[in-house]
Structure 1
Amino acid sequence: MLTDVMIEDRRWHALGLEPLAERAAAATLAHLGMDPGAFEISILACNDARIAVLNEDFRGKPQPTNVLSWPSAERGALRDGGVPDLPLPGPDAELGDIAIAYGVCASEAALGGKPLADHATHLIVHAVLHLLGYDHTRSGDADLMESCEVAILCKLGIADPY
Protein backbone atom coordinates (compact mmCIF):
# COMPACT_ATOMS: atom_id res chain seq x y z
CA MET A 1 0.00 0.00 0.00
CA LEU A 2 1.07 3.52 -0.77
CA THR A 3 -0.43 5.07 2.36
CA ASP A 4 -0.02 4.08 5.99
CA VAL A 5 -2.85 5.83 7.85
CA MET A 6 -2.86 6.20 11.62
CA ILE A 7 -6.26 7.34 12.87
CA GLU A 8 -6.26 9.23 16.18
CA ASP A 9 -9.67 10.88 15.76
CA ARG A 10 -12.36 8.19 15.40
CA ARG A 11 -14.57 10.45 13.27
CA TRP A 12 -12.26 9.71 10.33
CA HIS A 13 -13.40 6.06 10.40
CA ALA A 14 -16.97 7.03 9.43
CA LEU A 15 -15.61 8.87 6.39
CA GLY A 16 -13.54 5.88 5.31
CA LEU A 17 -10.34 7.91 5.29
CA GLU A 18 -8.01 4.97 4.71
CA PRO A 19 -9.33 4.01 1.24
CA LEU A 20 -10.00 7.68 0.43
CA ALA A 21 -6.38 8.63 1.22
CA GLU A 22 -5.02 5.66 -0.74
CA ARG A 23 -7.11 6.58 -3.77
CA ALA A 24 -6.17 10.28 -3.60
CA ALA A 25 -2.45 9.62 -3.15
CA ALA A 26 -2.37 6.97 -5.89
CA ALA A 27 -4.20 9.26 -8.32
CA THR A 28 -1.74 12.05 -7.59
CA LEU A 29 1.32 9.90 -8.26
CA ALA A 30 -0.24 8.29 -11.34
CA HIS A 31 -1.11 11.72 -12.76
CA LEU A 32 2.59 12.61 -12.52
CA GLY A 33 3.68 9.37 -14.18
CA MET A 34 4.89 7.78 -10.95
CA ASP A 35 4.21 4.19 -9.87
CA PRO A 36 2.06 4.41 -6.72
CA GLY A 37 3.20 0.93 -5.69
CA ALA A 38 6.81 2.05 -5.46
CA PHE A 39 6.41 4.71 -2.75
CA GLU A 40 5.16 5.18 0.82
CA ILE A 41 3.38 8.02 2.60
CA SER A 42 2.47 8.15 6.30
CA ILE A 43 -0.76 9.94 7.22
CA LEU A 44 -1.90 11.01 10.69
CA ALA A 45 -5.68 11.54 10.86
CA CYS A 46 -6.07 13.66 13.95
CA ASN A 47 -8.20 16.28 15.64
CA ASP A 48 -7.81 20.05 15.73
CA ALA A 49 -5.99 20.10 19.08
CA ARG A 50 -3.30 17.72 17.84
CA ILE A 51 -2.73 19.55 14.56
CA ALA A 52 -2.57 22.89 16.43
CA VAL A 53 0.37 21.52 18.44
CA LEU A 54 2.06 20.28 15.27
CA ASN A 55 1.39 23.59 13.51
CA GLU A 56 2.97 25.50 16.40
CA ASP A 57 5.94 23.13 16.71
CA PHE A 58 6.80 23.12 13.01
CA ARG A 59 5.48 26.42 11.66
CA GLY A 60 5.28 28.65 14.73
CA LYS A 61 1.53 29.09 14.23
CA PRO A 62 -0.39 28.11 17.41
CA GLN A 63 -3.74 27.32 15.79
CA PRO A 64 -5.31 24.40 13.99
CA THR A 65 -5.01 24.10 10.23
CA ASN A 66 -6.53 21.67 7.76
CA VAL A 67 -3.46 19.73 6.60
CA LEU A 68 0.30 19.70 7.13
CA SER A 69 3.00 17.91 5.19
CA TRP A 70 6.63 17.03 5.83
CA PRO A 71 8.51 15.91 2.69
CA SER A 72 11.30 13.40 3.19
CA ALA A 73 13.55 15.52 0.92
CA GLU A 74 13.61 18.96 -0.69
CA ARG A 75 12.27 18.57 -4.21
CA GLY A 76 11.06 22.06 -5.13
CA ALA A 77 11.84 23.60 -8.48
CA LEU A 78 14.39 26.41 -8.60
CA ARG A 79 12.45 28.31 -11.26
CA ASP A 80 9.02 29.77 -10.44
CA GLY A 81 6.47 27.56 -12.19
CA GLY A 82 8.99 24.81 -12.88
CA VAL A 83 8.18 21.16 -12.32
CA PRO A 84 9.84 19.79 -9.16
CA ASP A 85 12.43 17.01 -9.34
CA LEU A 86 10.26 13.96 -8.79
CA PRO A 87 11.79 11.08 -6.84
CA LEU A 88 12.64 7.78 -8.43
CA PRO A 89 11.59 4.47 -6.90
CA GLY A 90 14.28 2.86 -4.83
CA PRO A 91 15.22 1.63 -1.40
CA ASP A 92 14.33 4.98 0.19
CA ALA A 93 10.86 5.35 -1.28
CA GLU A 94 9.31 7.21 1.68
CA LEU A 95 7.88 10.46 0.34
CA GLY A 96 7.08 11.98 3.72
CA ASP A 97 4.36 12.50 6.29
CA ILE A 98 0.95 14.19 6.27
CA ALA A 99 -1.34 15.23 9.13
CA ILE A 100 -4.99 16.09 8.50
CA ALA A 101 -7.41 17.53 11.09
CA TYR A 102 -11.02 16.43 11.18
CA GLY A 103 -12.66 19.53 12.67
CA VAL A 104 -11.05 22.07 10.34
CA CYS A 105 -11.66 19.84 7.33
CA ALA A 106 -15.32 19.30 8.24
CA SER A 107 -15.86 23.02 8.93
CA GLU A 108 -14.31 24.05 5.61
CA ALA A 109 -16.37 21.49 3.73
CA ALA A 110 -19.60 22.69 5.36
CA LEU A 111 -18.72 26.35 4.78
CA GLY A 112 -17.96 25.64 1.11
CA GLY A 113 -21.06 23.46 0.62
CA LYS A 114 -18.85 20.52 -0.39
CA PRO A 115 -19.09 16.87 0.62
CA LEU A 116 -16.59 16.14 3.37
CA ALA A 117 -15.12 13.23 1.39
CA ASP A 118 -14.45 15.52 -1.59
CA HIS A 119 -12.75 18.14 0.55
CA ALA A 120 -10.65 15.56 2.40
CA THR A 121 -9.63 14.09 -0.96
CA HIS A 122 -8.60 17.53 -2.17
CA LEU A 123 -6.52 18.11 0.98
CA ILE A 124 -4.75 14.75 0.59
CA VAL A 125 -3.99 15.49 -3.09
CA HIS A 126 -2.71 18.94 -2.05
CA ALA A 127 -0.49 17.49 0.69
CA VAL A 128 0.92 14.75 -1.57
CA LEU A 129 1.85 17.41 -4.12
CA HIS A 130 3.68 19.26 -1.33
CA LEU A 131 5.58 16.04 -0.52
CA LEU A 132 6.65 15.96 -4.16
CA GLY A 133 7.99 19.52 -4.13
CA TYR A 134 4.98 21.44 -5.43
CA ASP A 135 4.23 24.69 -3.61
CA HIS A 136 2.07 27.79 -3.83
CA THR A 137 4.33 30.51 -2.40
CA ARG A 138 5.39 31.92 -5.79
CA SER A 139 2.69 32.71 -8.36
CA GLY A 140 3.99 30.39 -11.10
CA ASP A 141 4.32 27.54 -8.62
CA ALA A 142 0.81 28.21 -7.33
CA ASP A 143 -0.63 28.12 -10.86
CA LEU A 144 1.14 24.82 -11.59
CA MET A 145 0.05 23.24 -8.30
CA GLU A 146 -3.56 24.36 -8.69
CA SER A 147 -3.78 23.06 -12.26
CA CYS A 148 -2.42 19.69 -11.11
CA GLU A 149 -4.93 19.55 -8.26
CA VAL A 150 -7.85 20.37 -10.57
CA ALA A 151 -6.78 17.74 -13.14
CA ILE A 152 -6.30 15.03 -10.50
CA LEU A 153 -9.62 15.79 -8.81
CA CYS A 154 -11.37 15.79 -12.18
CA LYS A 155 -10.02 12.27 -12.81
CA LEU A 156 -11.48 11.30 -9.42
CA GLY A 157 -14.88 12.77 -10.34
CA ILE A 158 -14.54 15.76 -8.01
CA ALA A 159 -15.44 19.26 -9.18
CA ASP A 160 -12.88 22.06 -9.37
CA PRO A 161 -12.56 23.28 -5.75
CA TYR A 162 -11.38 26.71 -6.85
Structure 2
Amino acid sequence: MLEIDIESDEEWDSSTDWSLLVRKAAEAAIAESAFPQLTVSMRGVELSVRLTGDEEVRALNSEWRGKDKPTNVLSFPMLEEADLEEANVAGPELLLGDIVLARGVCEREAAEKDIPVERHATHLLVHGTLHLLGYDHLEDEEAADMETREVRALARLGIDDPYQVRD
Protein backbone atom coordinates (compact mmCIF):
# COMPACT_ATOMS: atom_id res chain seq x y z
CA MET A 1 0.00 0.00 0.00
CA LEU A 2 1.36 3.39 -0.99
CA GLU A 3 0.39 6.44 1.06
CA ILE A 4 1.19 9.90 -0.23
CA ASP A 5 1.24 13.00 1.94
CA ILE A 6 1.07 16.24 -0.07
CA GLU A 7 1.59 19.76 1.18
CA SER A 8 0.86 22.51 -1.29
CA ASP A 9 0.98 26.27 -1.11
CA GLU A 10 -1.18 28.77 -2.96
CA GLU A 11 1.31 29.11 -5.83
CA TRP A 12 0.19 25.74 -7.24
CA ASP A 13 -2.94 25.79 -9.42
CA SER A 14 -5.83 24.40 -7.39
CA SER A 15 -7.73 23.31 -10.52
CA THR A 16 -5.28 20.41 -10.96
CA ASP A 17 -5.78 17.27 -8.91
CA TRP A 18 -2.21 17.20 -7.61
CA SER A 19 -2.92 14.24 -5.32
CA LEU A 20 -3.89 12.07 -8.28
CA LEU A 21 -1.00 13.34 -10.39
CA VAL A 22 1.52 12.63 -7.61
CA ARG A 23 0.06 9.16 -6.95
CA LYS A 24 0.16 8.16 -10.62
CA ALA A 25 3.73 9.47 -11.05
CA ALA A 26 4.97 7.67 -7.92
CA GLU A 27 3.24 4.41 -8.82
CA ALA A 28 4.63 4.49 -12.37
CA ALA A 29 8.17 5.17 -11.08
CA ILE A 30 7.91 2.37 -8.51
CA ALA A 31 6.58 -0.03 -11.16
CA GLU A 32 9.65 0.65 -13.32
CA SER A 33 12.10 0.38 -10.43
CA ALA A 34 13.79 -2.68 -9.00
CA PHE A 35 11.16 -2.57 -6.21
CA PRO A 36 7.72 -2.86 -7.87
CA GLN A 37 6.47 -4.79 -4.82
CA LEU A 38 6.30 -1.53 -2.84
CA THR A 39 2.83 -0.65 -4.15
CA VAL A 40 1.42 -3.95 -2.85
CA SER A 41 3.71 -4.31 0.14
CA MET A 42 2.46 -5.88 3.37
CA ARG A 43 3.86 -2.79 5.12
CA GLY A 44 2.67 0.71 4.54
CA VAL A 45 4.96 2.68 2.25
CA GLU A 46 4.80 6.46 2.48
CA LEU A 47 6.07 9.26 0.29
CA SER A 48 5.90 12.94 1.24
CA VAL A 49 5.63 15.61 -1.46
CA ARG A 50 5.85 19.37 -0.95
CA LEU A 51 4.66 21.62 -3.77
CA THR A 52 6.11 25.03 -3.00
CA GLY A 53 7.77 28.09 -4.43
CA ASP A 54 11.25 28.86 -5.68
CA GLU A 55 12.40 30.61 -2.49
CA GLU A 56 11.72 27.63 -0.24
CA VAL A 57 13.46 25.31 -2.70
CA ARG A 58 16.38 27.74 -2.99
CA ALA A 59 16.80 27.68 0.81
CA LEU A 60 16.66 23.86 0.92
CA ASN A 61 19.05 23.56 -2.03
CA SER A 62 21.46 25.93 -0.30
CA GLU A 63 21.26 24.13 3.04
CA TRP A 64 21.46 20.53 1.77
CA ARG A 65 23.41 20.79 -1.48
CA GLY A 66 25.42 23.99 -1.03
CA LYS A 67 23.82 25.54 -4.14
CA ASP A 68 22.22 28.92 -3.45
CA LYS A 69 19.64 28.82 -6.24
CA PRO A 70 16.26 27.23 -6.81
CA THR A 71 16.10 23.94 -8.67
CA ASN A 72 13.14 22.10 -10.15
CA VAL A 73 13.01 19.10 -7.78
CA LEU A 74 14.78 17.97 -4.62
CA SER A 75 14.63 14.44 -3.22
CA PHE A 76 15.49 13.40 0.32
CA PRO A 77 15.64 9.58 0.55
CA MET A 78 15.05 7.96 3.92
CA LEU A 79 15.76 4.29 3.16
CA GLU A 80 18.72 2.12 2.32
CA GLU A 81 18.53 -0.44 -0.51
CA ALA A 82 18.28 -3.29 2.05
CA ASP A 83 15.14 -1.66 3.50
CA LEU A 84 13.59 -1.52 0.03
CA GLU A 85 14.44 -5.14 -0.74
CA GLU A 86 12.69 -6.28 2.46
CA ALA A 87 9.49 -4.32 1.77
CA ASN A 88 7.32 -7.45 1.64
CA VAL A 89 8.41 -8.50 5.12
CA ALA A 90 6.01 -7.51 7.89
CA GLY A 91 7.22 -4.59 9.93
CA PRO A 92 6.76 -0.88 10.54
CA GLU A 93 5.75 1.50 7.79
CA LEU A 94 8.49 2.47 5.35
CA LEU A 95 8.97 6.17 4.67
CA LEU A 96 10.58 6.42 1.22
CA GLY A 97 11.43 10.07 1.75
CA ASP A 98 10.50 13.57 0.67
CA ILE A 99 10.20 15.25 -2.72
CA VAL A 100 9.99 19.04 -3.06
CA LEU A 101 8.99 20.80 -6.30
CA ALA A 102 9.48 24.51 -7.06
CA ARG A 103 6.55 26.04 -8.90
CA GLY A 104 8.40 28.87 -10.66
CA VAL A 105 11.21 26.67 -11.97
CA CYS A 106 8.64 24.07 -13.05
CA GLU A 107 6.62 26.67 -14.94
CA ARG A 108 9.66 28.19 -16.67
CA GLU A 109 11.02 24.82 -17.76
CA ALA A 110 7.59 23.70 -19.01
CA ALA A 111 7.26 26.94 -21.01
CA GLU A 112 10.74 26.41 -22.53
CA LYS A 113 9.71 22.89 -23.55
CA ASP A 114 6.29 24.14 -24.71
CA ILE A 115 4.46 21.55 -22.59
CA PRO A 116 1.85 21.84 -19.83
CA VAL A 117 3.28 22.38 -16.35
CA GLU A 118 1.40 19.29 -15.13
CA ARG A 119 3.26 17.10 -17.65
CA HIS A 120 6.62 18.53 -16.62
CA ALA A 121 5.74 18.18 -12.93
CA THR A 122 4.83 14.53 -13.58
CA HIS A 123 8.27 13.97 -15.09
CA LEU A 124 9.94 15.65 -12.12
CA LEU A 125 7.90 13.55 -9.68
CA VAL A 126 8.90 10.34 -11.48
CA HIS A 127 12.52 11.53 -11.41
CA GLY A 128 12.30 12.41 -7.70
CA THR A 129 10.66 9.10 -6.81
CA LEU A 130 13.42 7.19 -8.59
CA HIS A 131 15.96 9.12 -6.52
CA LEU A 132 14.12 7.98 -3.37
CA LEU A 133 14.45 4.41 -4.65
CA GLY A 134 18.23 4.69 -4.92
CA TYR A 135 18.68 5.75 -8.54
CA ASP A 136 21.08 8.52 -9.50
CA HIS A 137 22.64 10.12 -12.56
CA LEU A 138 26.16 10.97 -11.43
CA GLU A 139 27.83 8.33 -13.61
CA ASP A 140 26.97 7.75 -17.28
CA GLU A 141 25.78 4.17 -16.75
CA GLU A 142 23.59 5.17 -13.78
CA ALA A 143 22.20 8.11 -15.74
CA ALA A 144 21.29 5.89 -18.71
CA ASP A 145 19.53 3.40 -16.42
CA MET A 146 17.61 6.12 -14.59
CA GLU A 147 16.61 7.83 -17.85
CA THR A 148 15.35 4.53 -19.29
CA ARG A 149 13.24 3.94 -16.19
CA GLU A 150 11.87 7.50 -16.35
CA VAL A 151 10.91 7.12 -20.01
CA ARG A 152 9.15 3.80 -19.34
CA ALA A 153 7.33 5.21 -16.29
CA LEU A 154 6.16 8.23 -18.27
CA ALA A 155 5.04 5.99 -21.14
CA ARG A 156 2.80 4.17 -18.63
CA LEU A 157 1.13 7.56 -18.11
CA GLY A 158 0.82 8.36 -21.82
CA ILE A 159 3.64 10.93 -21.74
CA ASP A 160 6.20 11.06 -24.54
CA ASP A 161 9.93 10.65 -23.95
CA PRO A 162 11.03 14.04 -22.54
CA TYR A 163 14.63 13.38 -23.64
CA GLN A 164 13.83 12.90 -27.31
CA VAL A 165 14.72 15.95 -29.37
CA ARG A 166 11.62 17.43 -30.95
CA ASP A 167 11.59 18.88 -34.46
Give the corresponding residue for 1:135. Answer: 136
Q: Which of residues 72, 76, 81 in structure 2 aligns to 1:70?
A: 76
Cα deviations across residues 49-104 of structure 1 (Å, max 9, x unaligned)? 1100000010011110000000002439xxxxxxxx64514414110011001100
Question: In structure 2, what is the Cα distance between the partners aligned to 1:108 and 1:130?
Answer: 20
Give the corresponding residue for 2:114. Answer: 113
Alignment of 1:28-67 (within 5 A): 28-32=29-33, 33-36=36-39, 38-67=44-73
Give the corresponding residue for 1:147. Answer: 148
Q: Which one is further off, 6-15 or 18-27? A: 6-15
Structure 1, unmatched stretches of 5+, are: 77-84
Give the superposition deviation at 1:131: 0.2
| TM superposition score normalised by structure 2 | 0.85
- Do the aligned residues in 1 keep the contact of 2:77 with 2:96 (CA within 8 Å)? yes
Sequence identity (%): 41
Could you tell me which amino acid in structure 1 is paired with residue 21 of structure 2?
L
Structure 2, unmatched stretches of 5+, are: none
Give the superposition deviation at 1:26: 1.3
Question: In structure 2, what is the Cα distance between the partners aligned to 1:94 and 1:5?
Answer: 14
Give the corresponding residue for 1:88. Answer: 87
| TM superposition score normalised by structure 1 | 0.87
| 3-state secondary structure, aligned to 1:2 | strand
- Do the aligned residues in 2 keep the contact of 1:87 with 1:132 (CA within 8 Å)? no
Moved over 4 A (4+): none
- Do the aligned residues in 2 keep the contact of 1:21 with 1:121 (CA within 8 Å)? yes
Aligned residues: 154
CA, structure 1 residues 86+161, in 2 after alignment: closer, same or farther (shift >3 Å)? farther
| 3-state secondary structure, aligned to 1:11 | coil
Give the corresponding residue for 2:102. Answer: 101
